[in-house]
Structure 1
Amino acid sequence: MKRVLILFALLAPMVLTTACKKEEPVQTERQRLTAPSDPRDDNAWKAYLGQEINANRAGVTDNVYSYYLGMDSDVLTPEDEAADKRTKYQRMVEQVNIVVLRTVLPGNMLAFGSPDSSKMADLIVAAFQGAEPNALKGSKVLFIGAAADNDRVKAAVEAAGANYVFVEAK
């Protein structure tokens, strides 16, 4: 009997604590991220895009390749002049096009974002030209941009067989 009382005395606080524990509400929708208001703040934009990429990694089992264009990426800078006389935009179109033409393995993700959504959409459409219908089968392409650019990017990406995800930068 004494053992039962001791056992009860030890277990009673745990049972009462567990019974009174308040359950946290389950979050059903992820918190909405807000795009930086200054389109020239590259650090803020890169941080924001990184958060959006992480929030959209579902189904990605391998690498994420992210592409970012700052404002005025199609303007020739003194560094561009000294190097190869091509803008950052032109170099990135070529780089992404090579990746797409070589195909992207299933489980990988290509992520695109920029404060200049229209220019990034132009880049994606240009880079995906000539892609084989299954070049990106099993991979994911994330575009973070303006709703006005969604349809043309979606058409170019889905023609290459990728799983397309759009996030509106607000």
Structure 2
Amino acid sequence: MTRALIPVAMLLSALVLSGCKKEEEAAAAPVELTAPASTDDAEWKAYLGQVIGRNQEGVTDRVFSYYLPVGSDTPAEGDQDGKTMFDRQLENVTMVVQRTVLPGNMLAFGSPDSAKMADLVVMSFTDADPSALAGSQVLFIGKPEDSDRVKAAVEVAGAKYVFVEAK
């Protein structure tokens, strides 16, 4: 009689454990991220960091993230050369793309001003070598209306394109 109950006990244990696992999985489901309603840099940087953290599948090396605040196209007070933050980021990203990016790395771009960030990406990837980003990926966090032009510029350089809507 006792031996007959062993398979039944094992079956019941398996059912109980599988039920617990499903509850744990449901509790561990990621919370949907919401972009900040404001243009506060600290809030946006925190949000973008979370989005980047969730979209690193296939990244085996480093993540290089680029951020533009709203108003990045006006020169900073006291800036002697008259360059804007946009100009500086554009130079920086263009140099990175020209030097090439090693496979397994990711370039991540995000800003409260999606159109301006899309402009930066497109301009940075103009004249990129077709293998400059082979084996790497580019994450663009922005508005859907900016995604297609960013995708076209990025894919010319050989990168995998990943888009996350900032909503």
- Counterpart mapping for 1:19-168 below 5 A: 20-21=16-17, 22-25=19-22, 26=25, 30-39=30-39, 41-79=40-78, 81-82=79-80, 84-168=81-165
| Greater gyration radius | 1
Per the TM alignment, residue 132 of structure 1 is displaced from its structure 2 partner at its CA by 0.5
Count of matched residue positions in the alignment of Structure 1 and Structure 2: 156
Q: Distance in 2 between matches of 1:140 and 1:95?
A: 18
Q: Distance in 1 between matches of 2:30 and 2:13?
A: 30
Q: Distance in 2 between matches of 1:19 and 1:144?
A: 42
Per the TM alignment, residue 19 of structure 1 is displaced from its structure 2 partner at its CA by 6.0
Question: Equivalent residue of 1:144, what SS?
Answer: strand
Per the TM alignment, residue 30 of structure 1 is displaced from its structure 2 partner at its CA by 4.4
Equivalent position amino acid for 2:44 in 1? W
Q: Distance in 1 between matches of 2:29 and 2:161?
A: 20
Q: Which residue of 2 aligns with 1:4?
A: none
Q: What's the TM-score once normalised by structure 2's chain length? A: 0.85
Kindly report the root-mean-square deviation, in angstroms, between the aligned alpha carbons of the 2 structures: 2.2
Equivalent position amino acid for 1:102 in 2? R
Q: What's the TM-score once normalised by structure 1's chain length? A: 0.84
Q: Distance in 2 between matches of 1:78 and 1:120?
A: 22
